Amino acid sequence: MRYPVNEIFETLQGEGVYTGVPAVFLRLQGCPVGCSWCDTRHTWQCLEQDRVPMQQIIGISGDKAQWCELSVEELVAHLTDGRFHARHLVITGGEPCLYDLAPLTEAMEQQGWQCQIETSGCFEVKTSDSCWVTVSPKEGMKGGYELCASALKRANEIKYPVATEQHIANLKALLAALPPEHSPVVALQPISQKPRATALCIEQCIKNNWRLSAQMHKYLAID
pLDDT in tens, 163-217: 999 999 999 999 999 998 999 999 999 987 778 989 999 999 999 999 999 866 5
Q: What are residue 113's phi and psi, to 5 degrees?
A: -90, 155
Residue 64 confidence class, pLDDT cut points 50, 70, 90: confident
Q: How far apart are CA 132 and CA 72, in angstroms?
A: 19
Residue 160 identity (one-letter amino acid): Y
Contact 46/4 with Cβ under 8 angstroms?
yes
Give the residue numbers of the binding site for [4Fe-4S] cluster. Answer: 31, 35, 38
Q: Say which residues have a Cβ less than 8 Å from residue 214's Cβ, sequence separation at least 6.
A: 189, 190, 193, 198
Omega into 82 within 30° of 0, i.e. cis? Answer: no
Strand-pairing partners, residue 12, are 22
Instruction: Report in angstroms the alpha-carbon separations of 159 from 51, 103, 105, 162, 215.
Output: 31, 25, 21, 10, 11
Q: How far apart are CA 192 and CA 219, in angstroms?
A: 11
Give the residue numbers of the binding site. Answer: 12-14, 27, 31, 35, 37-40, 92, 94, 136-138
Give the residue numbers of the binding site for Mg(2+). Answer: 40
Domain ranges, ordered by start, for the chain: 2-159
Chain Cα centroid distance, residue 121:
10
The chain-wide mean pLDDT, for the chain, equals: 92
| Model confidence at 61: pLDDT above 70 | no
Average pLDDT of the residues in 103-114:
98
CATH topology of domain 2-159: TIM Barrel (3.20.20)
Q: How far apart are CA 223 and CA 211, in angstroms?
A: 22
Give the residue numbers of the binding site for substrate. Answer: 12-14, 27, 92
Q: What is the pTM of this model?
A: 0.92
Q: With left for phi above 0 and alpha for psi between -120 and 50, is residue 55 left, alpha or beta?
A: alpha
**Quick one: which H or E segment has residue 24?**
strand 22-28
pLDDT in tens, 135-163: 999 888 888 899 999 999 999 999 999 99
Q: How far apart are CA 2 and CA 57, in angstroms?
A: 15
| Model confidence at 219: pLDDT above 60 | no
Contact 177/137 with Cβ under 8 angstroms?
no
Instruction: Report in angstroms the alpha-carbon separations of 119 from 10, 50, 137, 152.
Output: 19, 23, 8, 10
Q: How far apart are CA 59 and CA 74, in angstroms?
A: 14
Among 184, 209, 186, 212, residue whose Cα is nearest residue 15: 212
Contact 122/94 with Cβ under 8 angstroms?
no
Give the residue numbers of the binding site for S-adenosyl-L-methionine. Answer: 37-39, 94, 136-138
Q: Determine the length of the chain.
A: 223
Residue 59 confidence class, pLDDT cut points 50, 70, 90: low
